């Protein structure tokens, strides 16, 4: 396909490049999108705000950052050669290893030449006359593209709460997802950490090793289970190589997209058998704990038994029982928030240099030049770490000013909730595709497999358009409404999300509440997307240049 030249209709300069497709972000999704779309013969430009590839694994370089999906599943499956030549060293890959992997992928598939680093997409408006997106970037350049693909990520827009006095702090303040490349020396320092989600639980044991003292500001206690991370030996790697084809096939049939999923035991069990299964899962480690018995996420009694099991384990690990009780004071069902997977988290509270501060009982009131004040005390600090998470699912998309038909802003369309059709498109925003967008399984799955499935579906759709001479595709509002209702119904039937968290948008003031992930399983989601395509892109309107508008 030959790139054409179009004039911008926006107020900015003339386009400085005209592409078949612009991809936003060079993380796992953006890299694969570039590879696939380029393979169709399309001209593609990727804009990436960082100066390197890897997305999540580029930004989240705090000590202890590690994936909680096993390495043999948290990787691409589109290339057997790539899989065969890459050696994972651990069960759960660390941030440095993942960053190396994505750099290897970028080099191996010669992707860098189409990526423009240090460049944010600020605005994108759909030019209805030409059926093209006009895209303004942070560097001041304006480009145009027939198709716009967001690979901006569903956990990339940082949530940093505004705390009075933050600007007066004399020490170092930093967010886990913006950790500097050169690291931060906490040796001998007094460090405060706000937040005990996955990021906090990973960073706290690491900083505690060298800091003079660590104050953990915990607002909501969380369920966390041991990772039981381990090194992989040559035999394990060979076994993974040998089983490549079989694993790839199998994981596409499983709800979470994992090749070695936890197979839930039937709930028809007596108390002793239940305890035995939970113990075995605890010893195995990893995030499958709440799936160990098939009624944990649906039956409140079974859920409470599993929750009690975890609380008792924590009490046994923590020496000071007053501290243990604060750590297990959890008022929501297990599985209602994303289960955290930890390495030596609870054991860290047995160190003399770690103090748990309950900021639910005595909330944070201000940051001072010398530290942090709660309702009942002041904590002197040299370093303040915000492990306060992200504006999930919609944050990165809405951080850009995206305008569709009639100049409608995506922010306005989603003011009361992020409706999409099959999690990939939003009606009224033609030729815009979202990878791991709202209404898709996103991170409620092995996100690497979801990314590949989304990109493959989008690439097939674009190939269909090119072959059929279509230049515009838009979702029908009724189809979008039906899909959005399905997503909501699946959420309503589950324990998942029955408490405040980033999953429900409750961590961001003013954000509409509700889980916007498809909870029906990646295998069912894939089937639904495939059916839409097989039925001639049912629920979409495709338009050729000559067709009346």
Binding site for ligand NAP (CB under 6 A): 66-68, 155, 161, 194-200, 202, 217, 219-220, 338, 341, 359, 364, 387-390, 443, 502, 507
d(C-alpha 363, C-alpha 219), whole Å: 8
Task: Output the smallest distance, CB 257 to ligand NAP, in A.
Answer: 15
Helix or strand or coil: residue 155?
A: coil
- Contact between 357 and 301 (Cβ < 8 Å): no
Question: Which of residues 20 and 157 has its CB atom nearest to ligand NAP in the complex?
Answer: 157
Choose between 50 and 161: whose C-beta lies nearer to ligand NAP.
Answer: 161
Q: Which residue has the tokens 């989600």?
A: 197
Q: Which is nearer to ligand NAP, 33 or 340 (CB)?
A: 340
Q: Could you tell me the smallest distance in angstroms from the CB atom of residue 188 to ligand NAP?
A: 26
In angstroms, what is the minimal distance from the CB of 369 to ligand NAP?
Answer: 19
Closest contact distance (angstroms) between CB of 308 and ligand NAP is 21
Could you give the CA distance from residue 547 to residue 536 in angstroms, rounded to a whole number? 17
In angstroms, what is the minimal distance from the CB of 164 to ligand NAP?
11
Those residues with Cβ within 8 angstroms of residue 254's Cβ, 6 or more apart along the chain or in another chain? 261, 521, 522, 523
Nearest to 202 by CA among 188, 182, 222, 185: 222
Q: Alpha-carbon torsion 202, 208, 210, 215, what sign? A: positive
Q: Is 184 helix (H, G, I), strand (E, B) or coil?
A: coil
Q: What 3-state DSSP class applies to 309? A: helix
We find the least distance from the C-beta atom of residue 64 to ligand NAP, in angstroms, to be 9
Nearest Cα neighbor of 131 from 523, 420, 361, 474 is 474
437 vs 539 by CB, closer to ligand NAP: 437
In DSSP notation, 254-291 reads STT--SS---PBPS---HHHHHHHHHHHHHH-SGGGGG
Nearest distance from residue 37's CB to ligand NAP, in Å?
Answer: 27
Q: How far is the CB of 399 from ligand NAP (least distance, A)?
A: 17
Q: State which residue, 327 or 475, has the beta carbon closest to ligand NAP.
A: 327
| CA angle centred on 148, ends 99 and 532, rounded to 5° | 100
User: Which is nearest to 219 in space by CA: 372, 92, 73?
Assistant: 372
Residue with Cβ nearer ligand NAP (221 or 434): 221
- 206 or 388: CB nearest ligand NAP: 388
Longest dimension (CA), the chain: 75
State the minimum distance, in angstroms, from the CB of residue 500 to ligand NAP: 7
SS3 content of the chain, % helix, strand, coil (to 5): 35, 20, 45
Q: CA–CA separation, 163 vs 161, rounded Å? A: 6
CB of 339 to ligand NAP, least distance (A): 9
Q: Looking at beta carbons only, is 116 or 229 nearer to ligand NAP?
A: 229
Q: How far is the CB of 176 from ligand NAP (least distance, A)?
A: 6
Residue closer to ligand NAP by CB (options 290, 465) is 290
- Complex with ligand NAP: residue 133 or 390, whichever CB lies closer: 390
Least distance from ligand NAP to the Cβ atom of residue 333, Å: 15
Between 208 and 432, CB nearer to ligand NAP: 208
CA 215 to chain CA centroid, nearest Å: 27
**Residue 271 buriedness (CB in 10 A; 0-12 / 13-18 / 19+):** exposed
* Complex with ligand NAP: residue 23 or 67, whichever CB lies closer: 67
Backbone dihedral angles phi then psi of residue 162, each to the nearest 5 degrees: -85, 115
Q: What is the 3-state secondary structure (H, E, C) of 30-66?
A: HHHHHHHHHHCCCCEEEECCCCCCCCHHHHCCCCCCE
């Amino acid at each position: 396909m030959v790139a054409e030249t179009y004039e911008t209709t926006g107020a900015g300069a003339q386009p400085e490049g005209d592409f078949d497709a612009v991809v936003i972000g060079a993380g796992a999704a953006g890299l694969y999108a570039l590879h696939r779309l380029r393979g169709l013969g399309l001209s593609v430009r990727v804009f990436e705000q960082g100066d390197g590839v890897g997305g999540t694994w580029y930004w989240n370089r705090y000590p202890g950052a590690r994936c909680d999906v096993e390495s043999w599943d948290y990787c691409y499956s589109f290339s057997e050669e790539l899989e065969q030549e890459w050696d994972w060293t651990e069960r759960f890959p660390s941030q440095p290893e993942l960053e190396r992997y994505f750099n290897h992928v970028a080099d191996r598939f010669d992707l860098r030449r189409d990526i423009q680093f240090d460049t944010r997409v600020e605005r994108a408006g759909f030019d209805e006359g030409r059926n093209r997106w006009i895209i303004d970037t942070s560097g001041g350049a304006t480009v145009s593209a027939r198709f716009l693909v967001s690979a901006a990520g569903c956990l990339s827009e940082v949530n940093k709460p505004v705390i009075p006095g933050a600007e007066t702090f004399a020490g170092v303040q930093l967010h886990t997802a913006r950790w500097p490349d050169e690291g931060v020396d906490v040796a001998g320092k007094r460090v405060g950490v706000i937040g005990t989600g996955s990021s906090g639980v990973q960073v706290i044991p690491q900083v505690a090793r060298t800091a003079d003292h660590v104050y953990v500001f915990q607002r909501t206690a969380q369920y966390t289970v041991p990772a039981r991370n381990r090194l992989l030996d040559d035999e394990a790697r060979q076994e993974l190589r040998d089983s490549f084809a079989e694993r790839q096939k199998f994981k596409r049939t499983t709800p979470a997209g994992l090749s070695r999923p936890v197979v839930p035991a039937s709930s028809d069990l007596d108390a002793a058998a239940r305890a035995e299964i939970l113990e075995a899962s605890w010893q195995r480690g990893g995030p499958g704990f709440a799936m160990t018995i098939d009624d944990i996420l649906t039956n409140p009694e079974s859920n409470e038994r599993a929750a009690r099991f975890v609380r008792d384990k924590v009490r046994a690990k923590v020496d000071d029982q007053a501290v243990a009780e604060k750590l297990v004071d959890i008022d929501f069902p297990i599985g209602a928030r994303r289960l955290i997977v930890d390495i030596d988290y609870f054991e860290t509270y047995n160190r003399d240099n770690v103090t748990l501060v309950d900021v639910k009982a005595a909330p944070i009131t201000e940051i001072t030049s010398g530290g942090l004040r709660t309702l009942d005390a002041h904590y002197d600090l040299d370093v303040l770490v915000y492990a306060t998470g992200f504006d999930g699912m919609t944050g990165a998309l809405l951080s850009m000013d995206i305008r569709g038909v009639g100049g409608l802003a995506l922010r306005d369309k989603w003011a009361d909730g992020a409706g999409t059709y099959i999690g990939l498109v939003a009606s009224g925003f033609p030729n815009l595709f979202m990878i791991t967008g709202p209404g898709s399984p996103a991170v409620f799955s092995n996100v690497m497999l979801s990314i590949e499935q989304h990109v493959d579906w989008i690439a097939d759709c674009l190939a269909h358009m090119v072959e059929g001479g279509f230049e515009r595709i838009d979702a029908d509002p009724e189809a979008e409404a039906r899909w959005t209702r399905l997503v909501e119904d699946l959420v309503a039937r589950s324990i998942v999300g029955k408490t405040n968290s980033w999953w429900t948008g409750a961590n961001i003031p003013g954000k509409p509440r509700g889980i916007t992930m498809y909870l029906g399983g990646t295998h069912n989601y894939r089937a639904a997307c495939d059916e839409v395509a097989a039925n001639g892109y049912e629920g979409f309107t495709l338009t050729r240049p000559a067709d009346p508008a």
